[in-house]
Amino acid sequence: MTSSHRRHRRLRPRPTSAPPLEDDDLLDEILLRLSPDPSSLPRASAVCDRWRRLVSDPGFASRFRLRHRRSPPILGCFIRDKQSPIVSFVPTMEAPNRVPAERFSLQLGGRGPITFLDCRHGLLLMFLPCWIKVLVWDPFTGDQHRLDIPPGFDTKQGIGGAVLRAGGAIHHFQVVLLGREKQVITACVYSSEAGVWGILISTPLPNEVPVESDFRGVPVLIGDSLHYLITGVCSRILEFDLNRRILTVIAGPVDILDVGSCQSTVMRAEDGGLGILFKSDCNVQLWRRKIDCDGEASWVLGRTFELDKLLSLNSEEKEPTVMLGLAEYNNAVVVQTVAGHFMVQLVSLQFKKMSETSSWHFHQPFESVYTGETSIGGGGHNGAELLHNA
């Protein structure tokens, strides 16, 4: 090769990479990092046709939900009356993120009542006593999965349950069902992918746990284990390891009881570990479970506060106060008072008033990433409605 040829080759312009926002793959990664608030994707779709094409892709919506699965906003609460088979939705976010109340509703016909068991990863789990079934409902798609209670469960003794999507699953889910017969706890796992219930898993309860105790509140998922509060004369926590399929009974803090005006529920502690919220009248205590370097567990009392002072309730409004539901990922609790319903964030102690009424019952906070309508065109409850008055 001649020197002139080599010189010509050196002078040839090198190909340049596309600007960052012209690279669809890179732009896709940037858009995935938008806030999980309902208005985020409609706003992005309004930028240009290219952005609208990217965020409207079903694959992008699935990745967006998966990325924000552990940090979803509280869209609102599902509520039901004690005897009604109708599930209603009460939005809690402000415009432009407020999802219309009529977007999520469920009517199960004239046979009631129903019991909320759990809500996680965009799914609601309910027990239907009249049908002796559990129902998994996807409020976004309207899909319903009615599952027979597996043999070996005495539903008259009460049941507990959990619903979740394992790992990176988007379409498949698991249901964990808990039952009790005398001093034996039984668990069983349903896989929507396999379409069957698994084998029964059992463990004995300590003798000091009374027969009349039951599963209280919804479970909390910490790591790969579900945790349920068993209430009675002395509280115990049931841990179910989803990977190893093992049930373990854990002792709770001393003197944490669910009697009279006292209430307690499992929750995530500030460090991400296992915690318990205990409320006696208006006094709230937040406990966390601590594991030392030798693997020994103990309970530590953390933050305490007075609900009546936090919510500025007068003497006529502070009694009674009742916890109605817990938002697992946001560490927020729904509290019913004579003055109305409040959502209290347990870390920041910020709160908002949800309603003036004090007549609702059985709240289930709905934490999820709403990507149902990402464009600003079309009809129905779409992105344009979310951006109304933005």
The predicted-structure confidence for 169-200, as pLDDT tens digits, reads as follows: 778 999 999 988 888 899 999 999 999 999 99
User: Cβ(297)–Cβ(288) under 8 Å?
Assistant: no
Model pLDDT, residue 371: 83
In-domain check, residue 38? no
When computed from its CA atoms, the radius of gyration of the chain, rounded to whole angstroms, is 25
Length of the chain: 390
In-domain check, residue 287? yes
Model pLDDT, residue 335: 92
In-domain check, residue 104? no
Q: Count structural domains, the chain.
A: 1
Whose structure tokens read 């698991």?
174
The predicted-structure confidence for 235-293, as pLDDT tens digits, reads as follows: 789 999 999 999 999 988 876 665 556 888 999 998 899 999 999 889 999 999 999 98
In-domain check, residue 288? yes
In-domain check, residue 299? yes
Report the distance separating Cα 274 and Cα 295, nearest Å: 15
pLDDT tier at 55, thresholds 50, 70, 90? very high
User: Cβ(116)–Cβ(364) under 8 Å?
Assistant: yes
State how far Cα 297 lies from the chain centre. Answer: 26
In-domain check, residue 390? no
Domain span at 290: 217-311
Reduced to 3 states (helix: H, G, I; strand: E, B; else coil), residue 186 is strand
Asked whether residue 11 carries a pLDDT value surpassing 70, the answer given is no
Sign of the CA dihedral running 156, 157, 163, 166: negative
In-domain check, residue 341? no
In-domain check, residue 208? no
Whose structure tokens read 């396999």?
194
